[in-house]
A = this chain, B = another copy of it.
Amino acid sequence: MAKIMMAFQVLPKVEDARLFEVVDEAIAVVAASGVKYEVGPMETTMEGEPDQLWAIIREAQEACVNAGASRVMTYIKMDYNPGRTTIDEKIQKYREK
């Protein structure tokens, strides 16, 4: 199946002082996954096959739970548009400025 783009944000329920640390655990899962990704201020965008990206999001949630989160609200955007637009095509010109 062709690659698609999915962005997600996790909001783990932890004490304030540990929030960034726990979100970093989620991003570490993405980084370790091998898919192309881009970290933004309020979501991380990935490229890959739908089920592969879903598995990464689930693993990122579990990483939050393992780091102490009692609850992980998650917001996902999915551009189900097989093979068409890549992360690079979308933002390249804004990064080159």
Contact = CB atoms under 8 A, between A and B. Distances in A.
A74 B78 contact: yes
Interface magnitude class on chain A: 35 or more
B73 A77 contact: yes
Interface in A46-91: 50-51, 54, 58, 61, 65, 70-81, 84, 87, 90-91
A74 B90 CA distance: 17
- Tell me whether chain A's interface is mostly helix, strand or loop, or mixed: mixed
A87 B39 CA distance: 11
A64 to B, nearest CB: 8
A78 B11 CA distance: 10
Nearest to A12: B80
